[in-house]
Amino acid sequence: MQSAQLQSKYYTSWHPYSWKSFATVQQPYYENISLLEHCILNLKNSINLVTEEEINSIKFYLHEAAKGNVFILQAGDCAETFLDCNNENVIQRVSHLQRLQELLQNNIKKPVIVIGRIAGQYAKPRSEFFETINDITLPCYRGDIINGFNFNSESRKADPLRLIRAFECSKLTYNWIRDYLNLNIGINRHSFYCSHEALHLDYESALTRLSLKSGKWLNYGTHFLWLGERTKNLNGAHVEYLRGISNPIGIKIGPHTSPNELISLLKVLNPENQMGRITLITRFGVGMTQEILPSLLDKIKRLHIAVTWSCDPMHGNGQKTKHGIKTRYFQDIWQELKETIEIHNNYGSSLSGAHFEISPFDVTECVGGECLISETQLKNKYLSYCDPRLNNEQSKEIILNLGNFLNN
């Protein structure tokens, strides 16, 4: 398609399904289309999980973060699972986030707003379509909303009924979080929000509704959505979907993002240059920040583009051990975060948020930290269905380091 045609499409007819005429990537293949349609209809008739007031208030805080008045802590599992959708597990994850929030808040002496990767983080983008184990090749696991983690052909088939289960689990999770926050007097319940990656577009558009109050299209399935590194193609379906909803959105920025590409993306996703609408989450990998971030900061500053800057020091630092286990080194994660803060400071900008993959438990998925997890220990308690998370101790350590460094 000619780019002029694409341009005119962008500025004309958005609706929750306009993405269907754009190139889609990372979407599941379903065999049973009538069952899929039935499930989508079921989702369309479902209740809202969040309110417009909550969406407006998180947007306000993201704007405050850009001004330096609050700090954003976005964290949680890489992939939530249906198995962990129970009251006890959800409260463990929420209270862990709150302990980190308090730790950071007391250290940096400004309010910290939590955005959990929770209550809907069920879809995963994958670099490969297939995975081979012991000479058997099957489709990759793409998150519980799509297929099963178990390595057999039945489990790895995309099942439309999982859309409903993901919604029901998200609904339960919201209920447990709301009950818990209400019970804990003294903790500001307006400082906890939920997020997930905007990946499964049929799911997201089924939960996208027009607010009769404001006349805005909102995704009522979560407060905050982010655009992943693998789906941020300017002419792609994910960008088309996200440009039409009014929730605040994050954009993951990898090492191959050019300043011009980023500016075009921001013009499409935030044409009115609203503060709080866009959070840029950089994830370059250790040692790469100095090469890439300064020119992005410079361009955004010169063009007066409104963004909130965050850093995800996890996703650029994935490695495989010699035994083939996916891990990340605590030292790399901390180093990227430190480099990012220094570069912001050197260029008259400031980092307003950080994004981590964490677990409240003593899992052994990332190497290092003061708890000295070694490569050989990784197999002891590796519970993640997808990327390796910082465990309880490692997450406290990084938050403590972060607070101390921000204060310097």
Return residues touching ligand PEP (CB under 6 A): 78, 125, 228-230, 252, 283, 315, 387
Phi, psi of 100 (to 5 degrees): -65, -40
Q: Which is nearer to Mn ion, 78 or 253 (CB)?
A: 78
Q: Are 75 and 357 in contact (CB under 8 A)?
A: yes
Decide if residue 78 touches Mn ion (CB under 5 A). Answer: yes
Decide if residue 166 touches Mn ion (CB under 5 A). Answer: no
Quote the least distance from Cβ 232 to ligand PEP, whole Å: 8
CA dihedral for 81, 86, 88, 90, sign (positive or negative) = positive
Q: Which residues contact 212 (CB under 8 A, 6 or more apart)?
A: none
Quote the least distance from Cβ 215 to ligand PEP, whole Å: 31
Is 117 among the annotated ligand-binding positions?
A: yes
Quote the least distance from Cβ 78 to Mn ion, whole Å: 3
Q: Which residue has the tokens 């339960």?
A: 172
Quote the least distance from Cβ 333 to Mn ion, whole Å: 13
Quote the least distance from Cβ 142 to ligand PEP, whole Å: 11
Phi, psi of 2 (to 5 degrees): -70, 150
Judged by beta carbon distances under 5 to 8 A according to partner kind, the member of Mn ion, ligand PEP, none in contact with residue 283 is ligand PEP
Quote the least distance from Cβ 283 to ligand PEP, whole Å: 5
User: Could you tell me the two tokens for 123?
Assistant: 């879809």
Q: Which is nearer to ligand PEP, 55 or 227 (CB)?
A: 227
Decide if residue 387 touches Mn ion (CB under 5 A). Answer: yes
Alpha-carbon span 179 to 81, nearest angstrom:
21
Quote the least distance from Cβ 253 to ligand PEP, whole Å: 8
User: Could you tell me the two tokens for 223?
Assistant: 């407060």
Is 178 among the annotated ligand-binding positions?
A: no
Judged by beta carbon distances under 5 to 8 A according to partner kind, the member of ligand PEP, Mn ion, none in contact with residue 125 is ligand PEP
Phi, psi of 253 (to 5 degrees): -115, 110
Decide if residue 159 touches Mn ion (CB under 5 A). Answer: no
Judged by beta carbon distances under 5 to 8 A according to partner kind, the member of Mn ion, ligand PEP, none in contact with residue 200 is none
Stretch that binds Mn ion, among 67-75, 299-307, 339-347, 383-391 (CB under 5 A): 383-391
Judged by beta carbon distances under 5 to 8 A according to partner kind, the member of ligand PEP, Mn ion, none in contact with residue 369 is none
Q: Which is nearer to ligand PEP, 243 or 389 (CB)?
A: 389
The pairs formed by 259-268 with CB atoms below 8 angstroms and a separation of 24 or more are 259/295, 259/296, 259/298, 259/299, 261/234, 262/296, 262/299, 262/300, 263/299, 263/300, 263/303, 263/305, 264/234, 265/232, 265/234, 265/239, 266/300, 266/305, 266/307, 268/10, 268/234, 268/239, 268/243
Q: How many CB atoms lie within 10 A of CB 48?
A: 15
Q: Which is nearer to ligand PEP, 59 or 117 (CB)?
A: 117
Judged by beta carbon distances under 5 to 8 A according to partner kind, the member of Mn ion, ligand PEP, none in contact with residue 252 is ligand PEP
Alpha-carbon span 158 to 385, nearest angstrom:
16
Alpha carbon separation from 166 to 31, 194, 237 (Å, rounded): 19, 15, 22
Is 20 among the annotated ligand-binding positions?
A: no
Q: Which is nearer to ligand PEP, 143 or 276 (CB)?
A: 143
Is 366 among the annotated ligand-binding positions?
A: no
Q: Which residue has the tokens 């012991």?
A: 134
Judged by beta carbon distances under 5 to 8 A according to partner kind, the member of ligand PEP, Mn ion, none in contact with residue 300 is none
Decide if residue 339 touches Mn ion (CB under 5 A). Answer: no
Is 387 among the annotated ligand-binding positions?
A: yes
Decide if residue 332 touches Mn ion (CB under 5 A). Answer: no
Q: Which is nearer to ligand PEP, 64 or 77 (CB)?
A: 77
Q: Which is nearer to Mn ion, 208 or 231 (CB)?
A: 231
Quote the least distance from Cβ 12 to ligand PEP, whole Å: 29
Q: Which residues contact 345 (CB under 8 A, 6 or more apart)?
A: none
Alpha carbon separation from 371 to 95, 100, 352, 366, 390 (Å, rounded): 21, 17, 28, 11, 11
Judged by beta carbon distances under 5 to 8 A according to partner kind, the member of Mn ion, ligand PEP, none in contact with residue 114 is none
User: Residue 298, by phi and psi: left (phi above 0), alpha (psi -120 to 50) or beta?
Assistant: alpha
Select from 10, 2, 26, 28 the least CA-distant residue to 240.
10
Write out the residues near Mn ion by the rule CB under 5 A: 78, 387
